[in-house]
């Protein structure tokens, strides 16, 4: 498991599955995507390893013990012990929330970063009917500085929008798709899980109900997470990012870089 980045339906997704080229934004996304998965798999691997080592030690000591009463006591204590796996199970929800939130933050950051690259490659994409005060323009000593500032403002404003609005902006402004209808629906729901995790201890609230079309009776209940939830969303974040990145590089002429060994 320590050589795997994530398990998908019981099968390892290895580095060979990753693209060799892409935008600078995609490279940063993949590096972070791998780091998160590496930590997650490290925790799972070492938890299982601790319990396996403890079991080997118990069996060895149990085998060499001649006192029947001591053996009975050892056996009873072993049955009652709480191992590392038990502790991990008890903290399942917290661990999965942390991993899921970090993955979604990485994805949203990628979309903002890619947008900035698009504006850098195609400054004309910044054209808008909005009026800009001359004073704001004169604050910059070059057109490049001005363009960078406007791009940063647009990226910042979109970073607080819903995924559907970000998707609409990419589609109408650049003709780029950041995912199919079903993919966006699934990712949007997970982003709402991220929101209640960060802001409401993962307790379902009215906003979550409205945005995910969930039964109103769920308000006040904790949104439980399972490893199958990660197996669904984590590979999808990678695939949709690779897809939009390829579109952007082909259509918006974003610079393509070779990733090398990442």
Phi, psi of 10 (to 5 degrees): 80, 0
Q: Which two tokens stand for residue 145?
A: 């500085």
C-alpha span between 192 and 164 (Å, rounded) = 12
Name the phi and psi angles at 161, rounded to 5. -90, 165
Distance CA 130, CA 173 (A): 15
Give which of 105, 121, 104 is closest to 24, Cα–Cα: 121
In sequence order, the 6+-apart residues with CB closer than 8 A to the CB of 17 are none
**pLDDT beyond 70 at 108:** yes
For the segment 194-210, what is each residue's pLDDT rounded down to a tens digit?
999 999 999 999 999 99
Mean pLDDT of the residues in the chain = 89
- pLDDT at residue 76 tops 60: yes
H or E element in which residue 257 lies: strand 257-258
Provide the residue ranges of all domains of the chain, joining segments of one domain with +: 20-159+166-251
pLDDT at position 31 is 96
Give, as one character, the DSSP assignment of residue 215.
Answer: -
Half-sphere exposure of 114 (CA within 13 A, CB side): 32
First-to-final CA distance of the chain = 18
Give the containing element (helix H, strand E) for 31: helix 24-64
Residue 1 has pLDDT above 70, yes or no: no
Q: What's the whole-number mean pLDDT along residues 60-75?
A: 95
How do residues 221-262 score in pLDDT, each as one tens digit?
Answer: 999 999 999 999 999 999 999 999 999 999 998 999 999 887
Quote the pLDDT of residue 260.
Answer: 87
Helix (H) or strand (E) holding 210: helix 206-212
What 258-262 contacts at long range (C-beta under 8 Å, 24+ apart), as own/partner pairs, is 258/20, 258/21, 259/18, 259/19, 259/20, 259/21, 259/22, 259/27, 259/30, 262/15, 262/18, 262/27, 262/30, 262/31, 262/34
Task: Identify the CA nearest to 221 among candidates 203, 206, 208.
Answer: 203
- CB-based contact 23:255 (threshold 8 Å): yes
Instruction: Supply the pTM of this predicted model.
Output: 0.87
Place of tokens 């500032």: 149
3-class state of residue 11 by DSSP:
strand
DSSP category for residue 125: G
Calculate what percentage of the chain has a pLDDT beyond 90.
74
């Amino acid at each position: 498991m320590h050589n795997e980045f994530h398990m998908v339906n019981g099968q390892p997704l290895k580095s060979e599955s990753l693209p060799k080229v892409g935008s600078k934004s995609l490279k940063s996304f993949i590096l972070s995507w791998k780091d998160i998965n590496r930590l997650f798999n490290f925790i799972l691997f070492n938890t299982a390893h601790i319990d396996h080592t403890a079991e080997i030690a118990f069996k060895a000591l149990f085998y060499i013990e001649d006192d029947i009463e001591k053996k009975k006591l050892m056996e009873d204590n072993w049955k009652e012990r709480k191992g590392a796996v038990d502790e991990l199970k008890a903290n399942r929800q917290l661990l999965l929330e942390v991993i899921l939130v970090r993955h979604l933050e990485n994805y949203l950051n990628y979309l903002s970063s890619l947008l900035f690259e698009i504006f850098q490659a195609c400054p004309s994409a910044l054209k808008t009917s909005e009026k800009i005060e001359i004073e704001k323009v004169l604050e910059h000593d070059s057109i490049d500085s001005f363009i960078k500032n406007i791009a940063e403002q647009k990226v910042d404003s979109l970073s607080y929008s819903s995924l559907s609005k970000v998707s609409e902006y990419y589609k109408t402004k650049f003709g780029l798709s950041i995912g199919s209808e079903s993919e966006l629906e699934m990712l949007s729901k997970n982003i709402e899980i991220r929101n209640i995790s960060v802001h409401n201890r993962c307790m379902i609230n009215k906003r979550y109900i409205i945005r995910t079309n969930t039964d109103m009776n769920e308000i006040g209940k904790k949104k439980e997470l399972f490893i199958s939830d990660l197996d669904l969303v984590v590979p999808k974040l990678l695939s949709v990012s690779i897809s939009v990145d390829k579109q952007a590089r082909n259509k918006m002429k974003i610079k393509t870089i070779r990733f090398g060994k990442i």
